Structure 1
Amino acid sequence: MEPGETDEAAVTRELVEETGLSVTVGRLVGHVERPAPDGVFRIFDYECQVTSGVLRAGDDASDAAWVDSATLHTLPTTDGLVEALSDWNCLPRG
């Protein structure tokens, strides 16, 4: 986040930068903490509705894709991601 930036503004900016998608930010669905070099990263996850754009990978990723639940379970993911999404009722349908 940039100094003085709200969560909504940060989510909107980061999604455009990292995925090419413009969104309307919705409710907070959950949060996690991950170790960081100087403490802990606090990550807040929000429900979003895509309003425009074409999905693309940002400069720190090799690919981006919309996937169903079965495909998600075959992909390498960060430890705890799928469990958190499941707990928050945010897994893709199907």
Structure 2
Amino acid sequence: MTQRSRHVPCVGAIVHDTDGRLLLVQRTNEPGAGLWSVPGGRVESGETDAEALVRELAEETGLVVEPGPLVGRVRRGDYDIADYSARAIGGTLRAGDDAADARWVDAAEFAALPLVDELAETLGGWGVLPR
């Protein structure tokens, strides 16, 4: 009997500040340890995507966010990631759980950072790159 692979539901947050900079975190865990990505993580059992997004952003960045609409979906290995826009409404930016660093980046900084695979292409395709 063949076992069907099950994809892990995850969320990611696309958060821009008033200057158009994008919120990124440097990952401490695989996949992509040491690389930069949008913050997010697994959806826990019983959580909605919005609840997971708020929790993950607080854990990884110290920010309180208001979830917005779905921007797009990607599948990376076993992870099925729903990426939502979000707006920071409180908190203080700091690297937290599962993040070695967290920062707002403009277009030049974004282009210079070591990013997780396909992040620049995906965000560009969705029209949500930093300014």
Q: TM-score, normalised by structure 1?
A: 0.89
**Structure (1/2) with the larger strand percentage:** 2
1:6 aligns with 2:44: no
2:130 corresponding residue in structure 1: 92
1:14-63 CA-to-partner distances (Å, cap 9, x unmatched) read 1001110001100110111111xxxx210111000000011111232221
- Which residue, 68, 72, 80 being the options, matches 1:30? 72
The alignment covers a number of residue pairs equal to: 89
User: Quick one: higher RCO (CA 8 Å, sep 6+), 1 or 2?
Assistant: 2
C-alpha RMSD of matched pairs (Å): 0.9
Q: Does the C-alpha gap of structure 1 residues 31 and 64 become closer, same or farther in structure 2, counting only changes over 3 Å?
A: same
1:78 corresponding residue in structure 2: 116
Structure 2 residue runs of 5 or longer lacking an equivalent are 1-42
1:65 aligns with 2:71: no
- Which residue, 4, 15, 21 being the options, matches 2:63? 21
SS of equivalent residue, structure 2 residue 79 = strand
Q: Distance in 2 between matches of 1:62 and 1:15?
A: 14
SS of equivalent residue, structure 1 residue 91 = coil
Aligned-residue sequence identity (percent) comes to: 54
SS of equivalent residue, structure 1 residue 51 = strand
1:46-85 CA-to-partner distances (Å, cap 9, x unmatched) read 0000000111112322211101011100000001001111
SS of equivalent residue, structure 1 residue 2 = coil
Deviating beyond 3 angstroms after TM superposition, the runs of 4 or more aligned structure 1 residues are none
Q: Distance in 1 between matches of 2:110 and 2:101?
A: 14
Structure 1 residue runs of 5 or longer lacking an equivalent are none
Report matched runs for 1:29-48 at 5 Å: 29-35=71-77, 40-48=78-86
